[in-house]
Each structure stands twice: as C-alpha cells, then as structure tokens.
Amino acid sequence: MDALMQLWASTGLSNFQADQAVMMAVGFGLLYLAIKKEFEPLLLLPIGFGAVLSNIPMAGIAEEGGLLSYLYLGIKSGIFPLLIFMGVGAMTDFGPMLANPKTLLLGAAAQFGIFGTLFGALALNLIPGMSFTIKDAAAIAIIGGADGPTSIYVASKLAPELLGAIAVAAYSYMALVPLIQPPIMRALTTPEERLIEMAQLRHVSRLEKIIFPGVLLILTAMLLPSAAPLIGMFCLGNLIRECGVVDRLSKTAQNEMINVVTIFLGLAVGSKLSADQFLRTETLGILVLGALAFSFGTASGVLMAKLMNVISPENKINPLIGAAGVSAVPMSARVANKVGQESNPHNFLLMHAMGPNVAGVIGSAVAAGVLLALVQ
C-alpha cells in the first residue's frame, strides 16, 4: 500500500502543474507546425519535442543531471551553433553572389530589420509588464536576421533566459517567409519593376570561390573580431566545400555532422521552453517584434534595390530579389522567384535572388558581431 502511494506520488498526474501542461501543449503545437505545416521541421521538431520532454513533471530531463541539461552545454559553450554554421557554410554556394557582388548591399539593407527591432525592443519597455535590458533587446533584435544559428548563438551570449522564445520566434518566422514577404513585396514595387529581367550571371572561377572565404575571414579579423567565431566557422565550412581536396570532410560536414548537431541543438533549445521563462508577457513582445523585424527587413531590401536602380540605371536589378536579403536560405530566394513569375512566368529570378540570400547570412553574422561588440 505504501508502495502504491509512493508510486502515485511519483506520477505525473499527481504533480502536474497547469503551466507545465500549457508548455507541453506548446511543444505539441510546434510538432504540429513542423510535421503538418512543414515549418522548418529539421529544427522545430526537435525543439518541440525538447519542450515536451523538459516539461514532464518529476522527470527532470532538463534539470541538472538530466539529458537535456548536458546537451544544453553544447549551446552554452557555443559549440553547437558554430558547428551548425560550419555545416551551413559547407552547403552554401557563393557563386551567384560573387558573380554579382552588388547584391551584398541588398543583404546589408535587410539588416535594417535587426537594428529597427533593437529600438522597438527598447521602446517596448514603456509598456507595463515588459522589461528588456539592452542585452535582451539585442538578442531579440537578431531575430530580424532570419538566421537560426546566429540567433541562438547571440541569445546564448546575451540573454540565455530568452533563448527558447527567441529561437522559436526565429525559426517560426523563417517558416512564415512565404506568407509574410509577398504582400510587402507587392506593395513596394510597381508592376513594371516586377517584370525586370536580369542579365545572366557570369561564370565564377573555382579560384575565386576558394579565395572568398579567406578574404571574408581577414576582413572580419581586422574590422569585427566579435563576429569571428561565427564567420570563421562559416568560412571553414565553405572552404572545405570549395577547395576540392577534402571532399570526405565536406560530405560529413554537410550531412552526418550537421544532422547530429541539429538534433542535439533542437532538444537543447527546447529545454529552455519552460513555463516560467516562456509564459510571460515578454514572449508576446518577442513574437510581435520578430514579425515586425521580418517585415522591416524585407521592405528595406526591396527599397534598397530600388535605390540602386536609381543610382545606376544600367544593369537594373529586379527589386523583388531585395527581399531575399533577409537570409532564410533558400526559402526567401524562392519566394522572390515565385512572386516574379506571377508577373512573367518566364522570368527566372532564383539564381539572382541567391546572391542577396547568402549575402543576408553574412550580413546577419556581421550585425551579430556589431551587437556583441557594443553590448557585451
């Protein structure tokens, strides 16, 4: 009988707290979005599952000594996001960007989303119930970069207690790119602009592709060392990919290594989705700001493209590809292509949009470096 009571006392039912139940529901909601809606499933599935696991009462999976507490060390030390960034580097082809380097400016423009959000987050402090420090604000702002590992890396350094909400917001909005971006793109462009066809991209030699990661790394080392871990690992991955002499490393970095780290990273992020850290008014603020940041970044990219067309009217850029500057590779490039084909089904913008798209990844990492240098 005692044993029965002991067992009952150890059940989840007798220990369930309302907020844990809510967070498990949030976790299952993320699983639903990941599986049914295919919202960034590679990350949101492990994140959602991690949220469920870490909110099981009495199990202590996310508490000290639990599996997820060990996995979280991989985020805390920065190892997991940096390895993901290396893998992403190994999957990135800078060819389209090198063929048309002007698109880097579109990737830069889209980072307005980050800095706009920074102010937005600080402004939210005026609303009662919200309270963000400058570090919190910087960590939230990076959502506007539409780059998951960068967001997680910055949040783990500046605002670990907001990590769960920030990661969820970043990946959710990346998944929502096909819904958020098109109306903004249509609103800011004329039908004629959407019809602009772009010259075919020049061929980029293998040597240029090999040199580029080195050049980028040197520039980062000289100007923005705080971005060096992120950009460095990204460049390492890209060099492994392009150099052509270590194909077996490239294959592993793009597949098994990034897959394993993705599972671990997702679970560890999910372990930060605890009720006391997620069920707060601030989370609402983060979600609202994230959506604004995305919209703002999209608009900046499009407007920048229009500005560039005014400045140099020869070799016009279709402003739709400016929206791809938010990163979210390759989703936002596809969106640019799709919106372009609504006007002219024979206008293939995909490769042109890949330029600002990968430039956006660099831009976000640079912006992250700026924030880390100024705020930390």
Partner 1 sequence: MIIGMGIVYLFLALLVWIIGVTARLVGTMAPEPTQIAKRSSLEVEKEEAELVAVIATAVERHSR
40 to 79, contacts with partner 1 by CB under 8 A? none
Look at residue 102 and give the partner it binds from a second copy, Na ion, partner 1, none, a contact being a CB closer than 5 to 8 Å depending on partner kind.
Answer: partner 1
Phi-psi region of 58 (alpha: psi -120 to 50; beta: other; left: phi over 0): left
User: Which residue's structure tokens are 């059940």?
Assistant: 11
Signed CA dihedral, 266, 269, 275, 278: sign only: negative
- Which three-class secondary structure string do you get for 31-90? HHHHHCCCCCHHHHHHHHHHHHHHCCCCCCCCCCCCHHHHHHHHHHCCHHHHHHHHHHHH
Any contact of residue 255 with a second copy (CB under 8 A)?
yes
Site for Na ion in 336-375 (CB under 5 A): 360, 364
Look at residue 206 and give the partner it binds from Na ion, a second copy, partner 1, none, a contact being a CB closer than 5 to 8 Å depending on partner kind.
Answer: partner 1
Any contact of residue 145 with Na ion (CB under 5 A)?
yes
User: Which residue's structure tokens are 């580097």?
Assistant: 89
User: Which residue's structure tokens are 């060390």?
Assistant: 73
Any contact of residue 260 with partner 1 (CB under 8 A)?
no
Any contact of residue 249 with a second copy (CB under 8 A)?
yes
Query: For residues 306 and 190, is the Cβ–Cβ distance under 8 A?
Result: no
Spatial CA neighbour of 316 closest among 324, 307, 325: 307
The pair of structure tokens assigned to 126 is 């005026």
The pair of structure tokens assigned to 340 is 């372009």
- Nearest distance in Å: CB 181, partner 1: 19
Site for Na ion in 297-336 (CB under 5 A): 327
Look at residue 255 and give the partner it binds from Na ion, partner 1, a second copy, none, a contact being a CB closer than 5 to 8 Å depending on partner kind.
Answer: a second copy
Single-letter code of the amino acid located at 5 = M
By beta-carbon proximity to a second copy, the closer residue of 198 and 328 is 328
Any contact of residue 178 with a second copy (CB under 8 A)?
no
Site for partner 1 in 330-369 (CB under 8 A): 330, 359, 362-363, 366-367
Look at residue 98 and give the partner it binds from partner 1, Na ion, a second copy, none, a contact being a CB closer than 5 to 8 Å depending on partner kind.
Answer: partner 1
Spatial CA neighbour of 193 closest among 108, 296, 351, 316: 316
- Among 93, 161, 197, 208, the residue binding partner 1 under the rule CB under 8 A is 208
Any contact of residue 164 with Na ion (CB under 5 A)?
no
Query: For residues 114 and 279, is the Cβ–Cβ distance under 8 A?
Result: no
The pair of structure tokens assigned to 331 is 């989703």
Site for a second copy in 12-31 (CB under 8 A): 12-13, 15-16, 24, 28, 31
Residues at the contact surface with partner 1, assessed by CB under 8 A: 3-4, 7, 38, 98, 101-102, 104-105, 107-108, 111-112, 114-116, 118-119, 203-208, 211-212, 215-216, 219, 223-224, 244-245, 247-248, 330, 359, 362-363, 366-367, 370-371, 374
Residues at the contact surface with Na ion, assessed by CB under 5 A: 145-147, 327, 360, 364
